[in-house]
Structure 1
Amino acid sequence: MKLSRRSLMGAGTAALALPAAGAARAAPRPKIKIGVLVDMSGPYRDDTGPTSVVCTKQAAQDFGASHVGFDIEVIAGDHQNKPDVGAAIARQWYDREGVDCIVDVPNSAVGLAVSTVTREKNKVFLDSGSGVSLLFGKDCSPNTVDWTYDTWMLAHSTGGQMVKQGGDSWYFITADYVFGHILESDTTALIKAAGGKVLGSVRYPFPETTDFSSFLLQAASSGAKVLGFANAGGDTQNCIKQAHEFGLGKKMRIAALLIESNDIRAIGLETAQGIYYTESYYWDANPSTRAWNARVSKTTPDHAYPNQGQAGDYGATLHYLKAVAALGAKAAQADGRGVVARMKAMPTDDPCFGKGSIRLDGRALHPVYLLQAKTPQESKSSWDVARIAHITPADQAWRPMNEGDCPLVKS
């Protein structure tokens, strides 16, 4: 396998070293190094990218302002949506650059690859972007925490809402990668359990597809009541825009199974209004999220409001650093499994997700918001894109642990 110099050397282009408060200058201290591995140049750049790095750095700054004992450094890399590139960067970071923890990792195939490398190296992977339920199912790892969202949660929240509204026949347009396949599968299981049916589906090549017209016309002729998009990022934006151009919203309901508030804003409320979607964090959910967003968005590119994955980078990193402090930095660097075990033993608590916990299978538990995109008339500002239609409590929002086939869970 041959990798470009850009693939590997670009990994360390964004870095921030943070000495914890009260540091003694006389002796060198341990340094915890965190790598934010995201899409900096492709279809998930706006959903992750530079804002994910800002949110991770903010967690390091917030933690470092009140704790002593070790320094914190944050670096960033671009996996280019290629599993081999992502795995190679992870290995370089762990083997040569002293990285202790990798954060985010959009793209399910890259996330699975990074989880495997992390387990081999006994480091820590905080998944806030992969979103694939395998990471706390049959491919769960004692070194991985799945923080923000997953295919089962999305299927049962957004898909469940469509079924409740009478959407008992579906057609899927699905990205041809692991996340798309599993999102379609999890939603299909929900539909069939409710007595519905899937009338058809089509899978398209990623990332080279930008024209979805032929797929949309197939969906329109299927007779399905619901058109489900099992994709993400720029692909979902393009699907919704092109479906609107064809007038499909007048013939069938649109279910964007993974879309985030920044995507809704990019599409525009004139086109996106009425769409139901799911996030485990929304900036306007409560006073705590509003205060955190107001603080962090001052330093994000173009003052963008973080979405659920980017807020997840903050929450997961903050909890990780608490576990490191509890163990001691040197012990934490020597044993990533031990850090994750301590993270599971400690209750979670941060301004984005509130109080919660992490299960034995690595699934972080917190409430989930079913959102509905507002009309242009309802919106009071450019980021005021949705209303909360329903809140699913943490104990109901996620797949039951005994249904995931995670080897870490003893029967």
Structure 2
Amino acid sequence: MRGTILASAAALLASTSMAFAASVSDGKVKIGILNDQSGVYADFGGKGSVEAAKMAVEDFGGKVLDSAIEIVDADHQNKPDIASNIARQWFDTNQVDAIMELTTSSVALAVQAIAKEKKKIDIVTGAATTELTGKQCSPYGFHWAYDTHALAVGTGGALVKQGGKKWFFLTADYAFGYSLEGQTSEFVKANGGEVVGAVRHPLSNADYSSFLLQAQSSGANVVGLANAGADTQNAIKQAAEFGITQSGQRLAALLFTLAEVNGLGLEAAQGLTLTEGFYWDRDDESRKFGERYMKRTGKMPNMIQAGTYSAVLQYLKAIQKAGTDETEAVAKQLHSMPVEDVFAGKGTVGPNGRMIKDMYLLEVKKPSESKKPWDYFKVLATIPGKEAYIDPAKSGCDLVK
């Protein structure tokens, strides 16, 4: 009788394991990190986001539903056509279950459209346009780390309150730049300010002299940099050469992260106001995460890299809770589960796929104020998630009822 019971138990265990294995397509969960690894946004996310994704897999335990987890990555070179080709190959032939990071808004919009067509999950951490959870939302698409509305509320709002009423924009000439300029302009005007001019520059631009001369002669007291990565760094360096800030104009780096401050240096970046969704030195938990990341990469994480960690971890939690990696079931869990980790704190996901969490208004320290490596920011304010992000009901997403 004892032998029969043991045999039955063994058979039950085996059948349960087989059921769990069968609930994961291809016997493996494969996550693709698709971003810029060689261009203007290489430090912004790049290989650092890949490493953050691997950290999330390790912290989850390396397996989900008794199946292996694999991270793959590729460089989309900030080109939507290249990104689209990679995404199709990953989904159609390489058994990739979800694509994440997706720096560059034009790339993210293109890949999200493919993921929607293929009924696959995408979670964007590197791109900023609110269109991802607005008119171009997807039932399988999620926007995780930040967006242009949060940046406009944070940095734009702070400078308007400090008297920055006249704005001139230097804007990256693609979807992200238009969105950031547009939403910051609306916020400036709603608070009694005005936009006196704007100029658009190509992505990965080298020479800002003509643009800065226009900004200098515009009569604006704030020059809004609606760009990111190396473009922002170059614009700030050249603005110093033209004496922009010395003449009384203020620079507003509307998307500027820890990575760009490190690349620029405190001497050039000091005094800049910016908005991020994560700062490694904010509390004990973020410091522990930052130090772990630092040991692996030699750098501290910004919000894109910490956000990618969070996105991968939450995706794996959703598979675990759903009991399958089937897209509809996982998407349902991603929409309903709270997001609790070192990046999100306590976040929620709206019906349009927007993850809502607090953001932080930061100021870059003077060199004399920095006491240790990567000690770059003063936290000026916490911006509640409900203020930072558009109400899903007003987002324009047709999934919101």
Q: Flag whether TM exceeds 0.5 (same fold).
A: yes
Alignment RMSD, CA only? 1.4
Q: Counterpart of 1:188 in structure 2: which amino acid?
A: S
Is the Cα–Cα contact under 8 Å of residues 222 and 252 in structure 2 kept in the other structure? yes
Paired amino acid for 1:252 = Q
CA offset at residue 382 of structure 1?
2.6
Give the conservation status (yes or no) of the 8 Å contact 1:367–1:391.
yes
- Corresponding residue of 2:264: 267
Distance 1:44 1:106 in 2: 8
**Counterpart in 2 of 1:133?**
130
Q: Name the CA distance, whole Å, in 2 between partners of 1:393 and 1:404.
A: 18
- With 167-176 and 27-36 compared, the bigger mean Cα shift is at 27-36
Structure 1 contact 292–352 (Cα < 8 Å) conserved = no
TM superposition shift of 1:198: 0.5
Partner Cα distance (1:277, 1:178) in 2: 20
Counterpart secondary structure, 2:368? coil
In the alignment, is residue 237 of structure 1 matched against residue 233 of structure 2?
A: yes
Q: Does structure 2 conserve the Cα–Cα contact (< 8 Å) formed by 1:174 and 1:231?
A: yes
How far has the Cα of 1:195 moved from its partner?
Answer: 1.4
1:215 partner SS: helix
What secondary structure, in the 3-state scheme, does the structure 1 residue paired with 2:252 have? strand
- Confirm whether residue 409 of structure 1 aligns to residue 368 of structure 2: no
- Does 2:44 correspond to 1:35? no
The farther-off stretch of 28-37 and 228-237 is 28-37
1:187 maps to 2:184: yes
Alignment check: 8 A CA contact 2:293 2:299 kept: no
Secondary structure of residue in 1 paired with 2:296: coil
CA offsets 1:282-303 (integer angstroms, 9 cap, x no match): 1111111111111122111xx1
Of the candidates 293, 302, 305, which is equivalent to residue 310 of structure 1? 305
Q: Distance in 1 between matches of 2:323 and 2:289?
A: 28
Structure 2 residue runs of 5 or longer lacking an equivalent are 1-16
Could you report, residue by residue, the CA deviation over 1:328-357 in whole angstroms, capped at 9, with x for unpaired residues? 23xx2x3x2331221111111112221111
Whether 2:167 is the aligned partner of 1:176: answer no
2: distance between equivalents of 1:68 and 1:94? 21
Query: Aligned match of 2:98 in 95, 101, 118?
Result: 101
For the residues of structure 1 that align with 2:343 and 2:284, how far apart are their CA atoms?
A: 10
Q: Deviations over 1:125-157 (max 9, x none)?
A: 010011110011111111111000100110110
Structure 2 CA distance for aligned equivalents of residues 196 and 352 of structure 1:
33
CA distance in 1 between counterparts of 2:387 and 2:281 reads 22
Between the aligned partners of 2:121 and 2:339, the Cα distance in structure 1 is: 17
What is the letter of the counterpart of residue 211 of structure 1? D
In structure 1, list runs of 5 or more residues that go unmatched. 1-22
Matches within 5 A, 1:4-403: 30-65=27-62, 68-207=65-204, 209-250=205-246, 251-300=248-297, 303-329=298-324, 332=325, 334=326, 336-403=327-394
Work out the number of aligned pairs and report it. Answer: 379
* Higher-Rg member (1/2): 2
Q: CA deviation at 1:65?
A: 5.0
User: Residue type matched to 2:153 in 1?
Assistant: H
Measure, in 1, the Cα distance between the counterparts of 2:312 and 2:376.
27
Q: Secondary structure at the match of 1:248?
A: coil
- Please list the CA deviations of residues 221-276 of structure 1 after superposition, one character each: whole Å capped at 9, or x if unmatched: 11101000000000000001111111111221110000101101111111111100
Give the CA deviation at 1:184. 0.3
SS in 1 for 2:295: coil
TM-score, reference length from structure 2: 0.92
Runs of 4+ in 1 over 4 A off after TM superposition: 65-68
Question: CA–CA distance in 2 between the matches of 1:298 and 1:158?
Answer: 31
Alpha-carbon deviation of 1:396? Answer: 1.8
